Structure 1
Amino acid sequence: MNNICYIFGAGQISDIMQMSIVPDSGDCVIAADGGFAYLQDLGVKADIVLGDFDSIEEIPQHPNLVVHPKEKDDTDMMLAVQEGLDRGYRRFIILGGMGGRLDHTYANIQVLAFIAGQGGRGFLYGEDMAVTVVENGEMHFGHEKEGIISVFAACDTAKGVTLTGLKYELSDARLTRSRPLGISNEFIGMESDVSVAEGSIVIMWNETLDGIKEWIKDAPDQEGYK
């Protein structure tokens, strides 16, 4: 399935009213807890509303409402992703998943790693930055890309990390979680690629929401749906 599952969280979305969220037929929109308020501001209909609703004053009225207990193992964002996976979606764009509490932002990057481990593609977006996790795969960027790109290990050791067409290149390198060697690289007006042969990497770069939507629809699947 190439359709997108949009998930709205309760994190900061400072430019919310400038976003153009027009789901295509077959896409799914999930409001995770306080993300329901953002969807109301945008005038976008939620297909599913779920969470423990500890970040809003009252539980929303919605025909597809899933209420979880406040004391639970998984975050509301993780539960939303699992809901999307259960419905057959493997491509996710998460909004309202960055900013606010740092621990929630970090947890949402771990959620991206979970999506990658299921053979999916997940993106966090906010403040003109995109974040994704690639497992045993690659990402290609066109020559028009500008700004900063940073690459970090998302596992103990990411092997065979190769960066081409960027200001600082790497060839068959190892990145570890304990040393941020891949921070603050730059696009230089060339076609560029970021790849990892074994393991997983976090990629962060300057991007627009429309750019993510265009990329994710054409993106190859990761190693296989699980």
Structure 2
Amino acid sequence: MRACYIVGAGDFFPERFQPADGDYIIAADAGYRHLQKIGVEPDLIIGDFDSLGSAPEHPNVVVCPVRKDDTDTLVAVRHALEMGFSRLMLFGGTGGRLDHTLANVQTLGFAAVRGAEAFLFGDEFTLTALTFGQLEFSGYSGGFSVFSLGDRARGVWETGVRFPLAEAELTCDFPLGVSNAFEGGKTVISVREGILVVFWDGNREKPLPQRKKGIKKC
């Protein structure tokens, strides 16, 4: 499955940026600088270019108004979804301004409710959002946390972990899902209703978790 890689202007860790042949690369505004530094030419550059200063010379540039509701990263995500991509890899979306990081976490939810899977990559951590589905992790170790992105996330299950959950309800005002741990085998995290944000440390060498629609009670 082809993936769309979107690079923003936040902290960027090139060793984690490994698109395959045929994947599509979008630079969101000053994310273009990150790609220039590692010698990667994006397929598209998109943004209002208030950070970059001006629209760069490139055959595929989309210029957005500065005054808009969407962040440049969200504009790029919308564009990727319109192109038919259902697997999105977000880089340069953490660090720096905390409000921008939180906006990018919300963008994961935006993709999830539209049927896409999106991952947000930091240096030693990764995040994704899940709605009415499950994630299967294989051989992961270390810590992870889950949070409700909306008012409530219902029917949350966590199996193969240090502190299992069964048919739990997570709310936006109580961090019940923080600081759990993988046990090294198979882990399944699922949610029946609402949007669940899943955060995990390390495991950079492991394949990303498999996502499946529907829930499985173990």
Does the pair score TM above 0.5? yes
Residue 142 of structure 2 is aligned to residue 147 of structure 1 = yes
How many pairs align?
Answer: 215
Go from structure 1 to structure 2 and tell me whether the alpha carbon gap of 1:177 and 1:101 turns closer, same or farther (over 3 Å shift): same
More helix by share: 1
Equivalent residue letter for 2:154: K
Displacement after TM superposition at 1:39 (Å): 0.8
Equivalent residue letter for 1:84: A
Displacement after TM superposition at 1:56 (Å): 2.0
Structure 2 unpaired stretches of 5+ = none
Q: Distance in 2 between matches of 1:219 and 1:158?
A: 17
Q: Distance in 1 between matches of 2:187 and 2:16?
A: 27
TM-score of the pair, normalised by structure 1: 0.89
Go from structure 1 to structure 2 and tell me whether the alpha carbon gap of 1:43 and 1:61 turns closer, same or farther (over 3 Å shift): same
Structure 1 unpaired stretches of 5+ = none
Residue 214 of structure 2 is aligned to residue 215 of structure 1 = no
Pairwise mapping of residues 52-67 of structure 1 onto structure 2 (< 5 A)? 52-67=48-63
Aligned match of 2:94: 98
Deviations 1:136-185 (A, max 9, x none): 1110111x211110000112111111111111111101000111111111
Q: Distance in 2 between matches of 1:64 and 1:6?
A: 16
Residue 196 of structure 2 is aligned to residue 184 of structure 1 = no
Tell me, yes or no, if the aligned pair for 1:52 and 1:68 is still in contact at 8 Å: yes
Q: Distance in 2 between matches of 1:194 and 1:45?
A: 36
Deviations 1:77-112 (A, max 9, x none): 010001101111011000000111011111111111
Displacement after TM superposition at 1:20 (Å): 4.8
Go from structure 1 to structure 2 and tell me whether the alpha carbon gap of 1:31 and 1:42 turns closer, same or farther (over 3 Å shift): same
Equivalent residue letter for 2:166: S
Q: 3-state DSSP class of the match of 1:215?
A: coil
Residue 18 of structure 2 is aligned to residue 21 of structure 1 = yes
